[in-house]
């Protein structure tokens, strides 16, 4: 995002593990093999709402929202 000719970048990171087997039918890409730390379901097993609440994109957007509130 650019504001007053200055670039701002908002990053989201979610830690987890790659499973050996595909698990779940939802999502795309790495979703069936990505198991977030602290969860017992891969992204592909989660509802869209569950996944979106903890995804790296949600974290980055949350940082953007906080920045814009200032």
- Position 24 pLDDT exceeds 90: yes
A 10 A CB-CB count for 52 gives: 13
Residue 1 has pLDDT above 90, yes or no: no
Query: What is the reported pTM?
Result: 0.78
pLDDT at 64: 96
Is the predicted pLDDT of residue 28 greater than 90, yes or no?
no
Mean pLDDT of 26-40: 93
Mean pLDDT for the chain overall:
94
Q: Residue 69: enclosing H or E segment and its boundaries? A: helix 56-69
């Amino acid at each position: 995002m650019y504001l007053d000719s200055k670039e701002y970048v908002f990053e989201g990171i979610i830690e987890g593990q790659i499973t050996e087997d595909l698990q779940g039918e939802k999502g795309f890409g790495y979703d069936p093999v990505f198991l977030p730390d602290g969860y017992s379901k891969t992204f592909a097993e989660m509802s869209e709402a569950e996944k979106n609440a903890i995804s790296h994109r949600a974290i980055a957007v949350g940082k953007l929202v906080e920045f814009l509130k200032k």
